[in-house]
Amino acid sequence: MPVYAGQNLTAGQFNRLQPRPSEVTASGNLALTTTEADVPGTALTLATTAANAVYVATATFSFDITTATTAFASGALDVDGSAPSGQARWSGEVGTDFGPAVQQWSGTLPAVGNHTFKLRGSMSSGTGITILGAYTRLIVVIYEVV
């Protein structure tokens, strides 16, 4: 909704004009398998007060190889039970490899109310890669329309 010259704005409209950042660091490690699973402690439940709010999410995943593998690791975002397109991907080969992967997502939250954002992880085959919780973080910024 546009703001017009001379328009009187309510306190609620002013509050919605401010971007609202939230962040969380994972609370524990996740040993990856080929089945996507939630990264412990990364769920954020954020409320919107206007329909069609826009979100921008940035995640940094820290991957660590525990057993030599040629598989790659994937980090994903889940928003209200759906996965927006795009994944953070990382691969290493020897048991001492570790490193970060970063991904950004954006989208629209069509309904007013609570919305849950969380990180998920998996790997392409086998086992042997872990997401290190202490270095894995999710940041979500909500922008609401007036």
Q: What are phi and psi of 35, to 5 degrees?
A: -95, 125
Q: Residue 101: pLDDT above 80? A: yes
2 is a domain residue: no
Q: Give pLDDT tens digits for 6-48.
A: 777 777 666 666 788 999 999 999 999 999 999 999 999 999 9
128 is a domain residue: yes
CB-based burial, 66-101: b 16+ in 10 Å, e otherwise: eeebebbbbbbbbbeeeeeeebbebbbeeeeebeeb
d(CA 20, CA 38): 24
d(CA 42, CA 36): 14
DSSP assignment of 46-107: EEESSTTEEEEEEEEEEEEESS----EEEEEEEETTB--S--EEEE--STT-EEEEEEEEEE
Q: Give pLDDT tens digits for 47-70.
A: 999 899 999 999 999 999 999 888
50 is a domain residue: yes
pLDDT at 20: 86
Domain that holds residue 127: 18-143
The count of domains in the chain is 1
pLDDT at 93: 79
Q: What is the CATH number of the domain that holds 45?
A: 2.60.120.760
Confidence grade of residue 92 (pLDDT, cut at 50, 70, 90): confident
Confidence grade of residue 145 (pLDDT, cut at 50, 70, 90): confident
74 is a domain residue: yes
Q: Residue 3: pLDDT above 70? A: no
